[in-house]
Amino acid sequence: MKTYLITLTPQEPYFFGNEKTFLFEKEENQGQRGNSYYIRSERTPLQSTLMGMMRYILMPYKDHKHPEQNAPVIGAESFKIDAENQSFGVIKKLSPLFVVNGGEKYVATPFDCIADSERYTPFSDYKTVETNSGKKLVTDEFVAKKGIADSYMKLSDGKTVPSYEIFGKETRVGNIKVTSGKNEKGFFKKEYVFLKNNFCFAFYADLDDSAVIPAGGKTTAFLGQGKSLFSVSFEEQENNLESEVKKLLPADIHYCLSDVFADSDVLERCEFAVVETRDYRAYITNPDGRITKDPVLYKLIKAGSVFIISDKEKFDALTQKPNCQIAGFNCIVSREEE
């Protein structure tokens, strides 16, 4: 098996929409009703998007007319977040997504960072309170008006970079045909994202020795709504991502290096948590090339979320999902693992 650093460099603004679609009066989408004329891209692709991209890049036949030849190389089906024991052929495991700049790695700053800190400075002054769910920890170091950390930390020294220095926005205005009613046009705004200051996305991939990577280690991919162009590069490199993150964490913190698929009961197994969520709905590529939308909407715990755990055994039972971890989801790291 070989480990590759996969680098994704957007060549144009991109739109990772997931649940974000336009809705007009009397229209309905998966139970949601209009109006929704201003939609914003997610900053980062989901791990399932990365898995889908890798499967496409590595499949030997890209016309979907040879599923029996493709299946041994990339697996027989698309990633399913609630499945068990899926196989993706030569793709053994993906790491969580991060961003890089000049060889430096950056990950989402843990959400327990004291606001406006130039380096990751975690909360340290807690007090215990009684709640309906038992004893919990609270801290006065969290300032509600400033919110949780919205930055990335450099793994070499813990310095933080505000997200606005990494991600830029571009609003596109236009008209779209209304699908219900008469032949009318609807006004819309769509906020795309681009990477600034020479940042790019990256992740590691463990691939079987038989995997055939692109010639010269370089290719392109079209990702997101609108199929934005990304340059993709492969470089054989050891994966030290988790060990580098652990060095920056306080002893009691469990940190979500990736988005996490878990039942909401996971919060009952914690004394303290700072959590954000993001929507997830799978798009399944069928053997004939048709793409269908999963009817189930999931809530993922967002990368950067942190926990102080009160019941580790039950917490692990709710968050350690091997199938998710193959795609780079559910990567929770702490110094306790050392």
The Cα 204–Cα 191 span in angstroms is: 29
Q: Per mean pLDDT, which of 154-158, 284-288, 334-338 is the most reliable?
A: 154-158
Tell me, what amino acid is at 138? V
pLDDT tens digits for range 267-309:
999 999 999 999 898 777 666 667 777 778 889 999 999 999 9
Is pTM beyond 0.85 here? yes
Q: Given a cut of 60, is residue 142 above it in pLDDT?
A: yes
Once rounded to an integer, what is the mean pLDDT over residues 57-72? 88
pLDDT of residue 177: 55
The Cα 230–Cα 256 span in angstroms is: 26
pLDDT of residue 287: 65
Handedness of CA 145, 303, 272, 266 (dihedral sign): positive
pLDDT of residue 306: 97
pLDDT tens digits for range 312-329:
999 999 999 999 999 999
Cβ pair 115, 146 in contact under 8 A = yes
Cβ pair 86, 74 in contact under 8 A = no
**DSSP secondary structure letter of residue 288:** T
